[in-house]
Amino acid sequence: MKYFAIACCFLGLILVSSYRKNKSDESEAMKQALLNYFDGIKNHDTLKMSRATTDDIRIYEEGNVWTNDSVFAQMRRLHYSVNFKFDHFKIDVDDMLGHMSYFEEADFIFNDTSKHNLYYLGSAACKKEKDGWKLCFLHSDKHKI
């Protein structure tokens, strides 16, 4: 009986450890969807951005409401280059839904001359779909450092 109890405890530890690793993998997959979206912005790659999001994504930025279509239209109008940096991620995830918050720094250059260093507080909601985690909601607001 004593060996049975020890075996049950050992099995329980393995299951808990596996669950934590799975949560970490899911968190990283959500984070990667966000990074893919912003990499698409950086590289003017709307296909990459579309693949990182649900079809009905909503984006709230500084009082504006966007969809992928409106973001893509704005990208086509502007001549820009950009570099993004992200840090201070906090990610919560369950089986099918997740949320993350983060700090974002965006260094934009418009028309090869006008430089803007912007700082944002960001949050994103993600949904797990058959082909992986997708962004379904983004929100950002300027942050003063």
Round the average pLDDT of the chain to a whole number and report it. Answer: 87
Digit-coded pLDDT (tens) for 35-89: 999 999 999 999 999 999 999 999 999 899 999 999 999 999 999 999 999 999 9
Q: How confident is the model at residue 101 (pLDDT cuts 50, 70, 90)?
A: very high
What is the domain class of 23-142 according to CATH? alpha beta
Model's pTM, two decimal places?
Answer: 0.82
From residue 71, give the alpha-carbon distance in Å to each of 10, 28, 50, 62, 116.
51, 25, 11, 14, 19
Confidence at residue 2, expressed as pLDDT on a 0 to 100 scale: 57
Task: State the Cα–Cα distance between residues 116 and 72, nearest whole angstrom.
Answer: 20
Do strands 53-61 and 132-142 pair parallel, antiparallel, or not at all (unpaired)?
A: parallel
Q: What is the domain partition of the chain in residue ranges?
A: 23-142
Confidence at residue 9, expressed as pLDDT on a 0 to 100 scale: 40
